[in-house]
Amino acid sequence: MGYFVELVVSGLAIGAIYGLVAMSFAVIYKATGIVNFSQGELGMLTAYTSWSIATTLGAGGIATVLIAVVAGAVIGMLCERLIMRPMLGEPVLSVVLVTIGLAVVLRSIVTIGWGAAPHKFEVAGVDAVLDIGGMGMRVSQLGVIAMLAAALAGFWWFLKYSRFGVAMRAVAADENVARLMGISTARVQSVAWACASALAGLAGVFFAVIYGLSPTIYELGLKAFPATVLGGFDSVLGSGVSGLVIGVLENLVGGYLPSTLKEVAGFFLILVVLMVRPFGLFGEKRIERV
């Protein structure tokens, strides 16, 4: 039983990181109707930017989280304004291809700017191991689980009660009608990119703190993708929860089956789920595929 619980708990820690990235995919999809394939790269660039700022300032845990949120939001807004805004009104496929191009550019920027060598993202105290019922957990791992919980609660409130959240849902429901009602599509898109990038940035920073900072962080996008598909592309909260499901599933597969199956477990799960619910566990039926 102890072994099973330990597998589940450590799966929740990596799953929370997937969940944050999965939520970021869903936020952009919900507001703009496109899948942003540069989500992992946005997380990576935010992690590097946050590392530079946090190490310069000698920031602690909470300050580092704030830096990640602000840096992620700024990077997201800049990408939206400079690259995605000119694509407004263009075919969805073209916009999606631009996000793939953006991913490649961001990877290059990181390697040119910070080099390829891995670095330790040191934040005082977060590497410490806490004993929780005889089970060791790092402060950073508990932190990312708490962060996902906060993000889920925050987005639930934001989408349900805030004026901007309602506007975002209106744009997602029908862009033309929303525009006729006076909602600025461009503004909604900009906020969506900022929020998504901040979420991916948080995931990138937590991943870097736990596993080290290296340009391979962008692969988080690929790892979190099954969670978004599982949860439903238009379900921000469902994607977040599905991240936890994928993380735990991977760990249980790794713990009880040959380890090589661990990395494909998430993709296998979405194959099965999509056969039953093509729009994901929490998504709406009218999803349009590209």
Partner 1 sequence: MTLHLSRLTAAALVTLGMSLPALAQQQGVTDTEIVVGDILPLTGPPALLGVAHNLGVKAAVAEVNAAGGINGRKVRLISEDDGYVPSRTVQGVRKLITSDKIFAFTSISGTAQAEAAMPVIKQAGIPAMAPITTYEGLYNPTIKNVFAVGYDMSNAVEELVSMMADRYPGKKWAVISQDDDYGENVRAGFERAAKAKKLQVVSTQVYKKGQADFSSEILKVKQSGAEALMAGGVLGENVAMTKELERIGHKIPVGVTYVSRVPASAKLMGPAGENVYTVDYVYLESSPQGKAFTEKLGKYLSAEEMPKVNRYSYTGYAAARALFEAMGKCGKALTWDCTNAELAKVKNLDTGVMTPISFSATNHLAAPKLLLLKADPAAVTYKAVQ
Smaller CB separation from partner 1, 215 or 240: 215
Q: Which two tokens stand for residue 232?
A: 């439903």
Smaller CB separation from partner 1, 175 or 219: 219
Smaller CB separation from partner 1, 101 or 115: 115
- Closest to 84 in 3D by CA, of 188, 163, 178, 174: 188
By CB under 8 A, name the one of 212, 271, 278, 284 that touches partner 1: 212
Residues 111-140 that bind partner 1 (CB under 8 A): 111, 115-120, 127, 129, 135-138
Binding mask 171-210 for partner 1 (x = CB under 8 A): ------------------------------------x---
Per rule CB under 8 A, is residue 219 in the interface with partner 1? yes
Rounded CA separation 272/71 (Å)? 37
By CB under 8 A, name the one of 76, 143, 165, 215 that touches partner 1: 215
Per rule CB under 8 A, is residue 252 in the interface with partner 1? yes
H/E segment holding residue 136: strand 135-138
Smaller CB separation from partner 1, 129 or 177: 129
Could you give the C-alpha distances from 35 to 7, 56, 92, 181, 221, in angstroms and in order? 31, 34, 9, 25, 11
Rounded CA separation 230/242 (Å)? 6
Least distance (Å) from partner 1 to the CB of residue 255? 4
Could you give the C-alpha distances from 186 to 144, 211, 269, in angstroms and in order? 31, 36, 36
Smaller CB separation from partner 1, 238 or 254: 254
- Report residue 132: phi and psi, to 5°: -120, 100
By rule CB under 8 A, what count of residues binds partner 1? 39
User: Cβ distance 197 to 76 under 8 Å?
Assistant: yes
Q: Which stretch binds partner 1 (CB under 8 A): 38-46, 84-92, 188-196, 247-255?
A: 247-255
- Closest to 12 in 3D by CA, of 200, 282, 250: 250
- Closest to 85 in 3D by CA, of 168, 185, 234: 185
Q: Which stretch binds partner 1 (CB under 8 A): 25-33, 89-97, 232-240, 248-256?
A: 248-256
Smaller CB separation from partner 1, 176 or 259: 259
By CB under 8 A, name the one of 32, 39, 50, 214 that touches partner 1: 214
User: Cβ distance 216 to 116 under 8 Å?
Assistant: no
DSSP 3-state of 130: strand
Beta carbons within 8 Å of 6's beta carbon, 6+ residues apart: 135
Return residues touching partner 1 (CB under 8 A): 3, 6-7, 10-11, 13-14, 111, 115-120, 127, 129, 135-138, 207, 211-212, 214-216, 219, 250-255, 258-260, 262-264
